[in-house]
Amino acid sequence: MDPIRRVTVPTLDVLDALLSADGPTWGLLVIKATGRQAGTVYPILERLERQGWIRSSWDDDAERSGPRRRLYEFTPDGAAAARTLVAAHAEAERAAARGTGAGCPARPVHP
């Protein structure tokens, strides 16, 4: 499994959506969960697959009408790395918010 060289917010959103899914999920559900455009999500999914974080397969549901769905799921190492990466980013955001005072009520300044 290759490391992600550049971690972007859209990549973190895709990782989080896949972590939140109950098993293999198709691309359109990832798009809906992230609120990102297909032109953003699908290249991220392709890159994650090339790097060994996720794997994909075609849905074989013969009962369903319409085009086949491509399902995405983490590899075991990819799931562990994604959890670590998403948690580290969330912690960094919390630390930055604490450092800037974001979310804290303003204190009156007395001369």
Reply yes or no on whether the pLDDT at 110 is more than 50: no
Closest of 72, 74, 92 to residue 83, by C-alpha? 74
Its pTM stands at 0.82
Query: In this predicted structure, what is the pLDDT of residue 13?
Result: 97
**Domain harbouring 46, CATH code:** 1.10.10.10
Question: Is residue 48 in some structural domain?
Answer: yes
User: Look-up: residue for tokens 């590899």?
Assistant: 75
Residue 73 domain-assigned (yes or no) = yes
Of all residues in the chain, the percent with pLDDT exceeding 70 is 89
Rounded average pLDDT over 33-61 = 96
Distance in angstroms (rounded) separating the CA atoms of residues 83 and 15: 8
Q: What is the pLDDT of residues 50-83, one digit of tens each?
A: 999 999 999 887 787 888 899 999 999 999 999 9
Owning domain of residue 17: 9-60+67-95
Domain count, the chain: 1
Residue 110 lies in a domain: no
Q: How many CB atoms are closer than 10 A to CB 49?
A: 16
- Structural domain includes residue 36: yes
